[in-house]
Amino acid sequence: MNMSGRDARGPKNLVPLLLAAPLLLFMLAFYALPVVTMLMRSVSDPAWSLSHYAALPDDAVFQKVFLNTLYTSVIVTLGTLLLGYPVALALVRTRRWAPVILILILLPFWTSVLVRSYAWMVLMGRHGLINEALLAAGLLERPLRILNTPLATQIAMIHILLPYMILPIANALRQIDPSLARAASGLGATPWRTFRQVILPLSMPGVAAGVLLVFVLALGFYITPAMVGGPREITLSMLIAQQVDQLNWGYAATLSAVLLATALAIIAACYRLPGIGNAFRMNTR
């Protein structure tokens, strides 16, 4: 046994902890504690019991809202994936246009959600740009209803969440050794086959990370569905806000706990997928 070696290792292990301590304390005081206090209300308000949770299976409003929220998140995740993957590929493949593409991705990212929602209202309205253009081109006889429908919510949310899909995928693609693709073509694979059998599988950690980020963020959307969504569209966040306003803080806390548990369950499930950790590894190449 080498006692001195162990002694040297002890304090060294403390260094990362000490470095992170200010942030940890900050998160504990201003994030974890308030969240826990709020979630405790789900079992303590108005009296100590599990009655809020026991009532959920018979709560038709909650179930419809929850399913609608999940459904919207799935559609939005698929939409961002289908639109985002090719963009990520382009971002990695072109050296010349990469900065332009990156700026185009990030520019809307820096604009407030509220402003973007207003922009979508101008575009998708009954007398908005899309309808007026289609009418003028003779492709429509009467304006389409896009604004104030679930489709409008999905389009706007896909737009908002696209960067969260593109950036992790691009990161994963960038980590793939270019010699692998060359080796594949050297062995006679067509570009499509190289993509399908080499690039796509190796980019899966990035896809998983993007899917995870987008899905979890989409679960909590509030402003966009309220502004551009359809008349029957209530998301879980909207229901929580409504119940907070009604001073039903116990019920609101229960709904928040369900939302948080759903997000955590999805994160846990994704982390079990092999290789996902790679997606979060920084690449300095």
Instruction: Out of 91, 156, 221, 250, point to the residue binding another protein (CB under 8 A).
Output: 221
**CA distance between the termini of the chain:** 41
Task: Indicate whether 72 belongs to the interface with another protein (CB under 8 A).
Answer: no
Instruction: Out of 17, 23, 47, 60, point to the residue binding another protein (CB under 8 A).
Output: 60
In the region spanning residues 164 to 193, those forming contacts with another protein, defined by CB under 8 A, are: none
Q: How far apart are CA 246 and CA 53, in angstroms?
A: 19
Nearer to another protein, 141 or 245 (CB): 245
Instruction: Out of 56, 90, 102, 244, point to the residue binding another protein (CB under 8 A).
Output: 244
Distances (CA, A) of 264 to 33, 34, 167, 216: 18, 18, 22, 9
Task: Indicate whether 127 belongs to the interface with another protein (CB under 8 A).
Answer: yes
Q: What is the CA radius of gyration of the chain?
A: 24
Nearer to another protein, 90 or 223 (CB): 223
Residues 6+ apart with CB under 8 A from 201: none
Stretch that binds another protein, among 3-11, 24-32, 144-152, 194-202 (CB under 8 A): 144-152
Do the Cβ atoms of 210 and 65 come closer than 8 Å? no
Task: Indicate whether 220 belongs to the interface with another protein (CB under 8 A).
Answer: yes
For 45, the token pair is 């308000």
Q: What is the dihedral of CA 21, 27, 29, 31, to 10 degrees?
A: -170
Instruction: Out of 83, 151, 222, 266, point to the residue binding another protein (CB under 8 A).
Output: 222
Q: Provide the minimum distance between the beta carbon of 243 and another protein in the complex, in angstroms, as a whole number.
A: 9
Nearer to another protein, 113 or 189 (CB): 113
State the DSSP code for 28: I
For 161, the token pair is 């969440």
If we measure between CA atoms, which residue out of 208, 213, 200, 210 comes closest to residue 272? 208
Nearer to another protein, 98 or 230 (CB): 230
Alpha-carbon torsion 115, 225, 160, 137, what sign? Answer: negative
Task: Indicate whether 214 belongs to the interface with another protein (CB under 8 A).
Answer: no
Task: Indicate whether 136 belongs to the interface with another protein (CB under 8 A).
Answer: no
Footprint of another protein (CB under 8 A): 60-61, 64-65, 113-114, 118, 121-122, 125-128, 145, 147-148, 160, 217, 220-224, 226-227, 231-232, 234, 237-242, 244-248
